[in-house]
Amino acid sequence: MQNVYQRDIITYKRAVSESSVGRSTEGTMTSRILSYSFGYKSEMEIDGVAFNFKPIVTLPDGIDSNFVLTVDLNADQDINGRLELLRGGEVVSSHEAPLKAGQTGRLHWKIG
């Protein structure tokens, strides 16, 4: 049986600001956004094992950049398993995902 409890929505952006200060001119500052990220944190219980699950999608600025899915996963007990990513109900990526109790495993998956 699976119980899922949604907890927190996550959104943030990564940005930089650069300034130039000269002796004869006033300083100028430029800033730009490097990437946008969004996701959520949730808790779930599957077959008596409690999991914390946090997927974050990062959209880099730039048309030629790949999206990145970062998945953090931990469990309340040691388990050997697989993390499978699905699209339209079909497995598109499968990864060995052994977990030690209380330690977070992280997967970075490039999309596109």
| Closest among 61, 78, 68, 60 to 106, alpha carbons compared | 68
Examine the pLDDT at 23 and tell me if it is beyond 70: no
Range of the domain at 62: 2-111
Q: pTM higher than 0.85, yes or no?
A: no
In angstroms, the CA 35 to CA 60 distance is: 4
Look at the chain and report how many structural domains it folds into: 1
Which residue, among 37, 74, 42, 75, has the nearest Cα to 56 in the 3D structure? 37
Rounded-to-integer distance, Cα 68 and Cα 98, Å: 22
pLDDT in tens, 44-97: 998 899 999 999 999 998 777 789 999 999 999 999 989 998 889 999 989 998
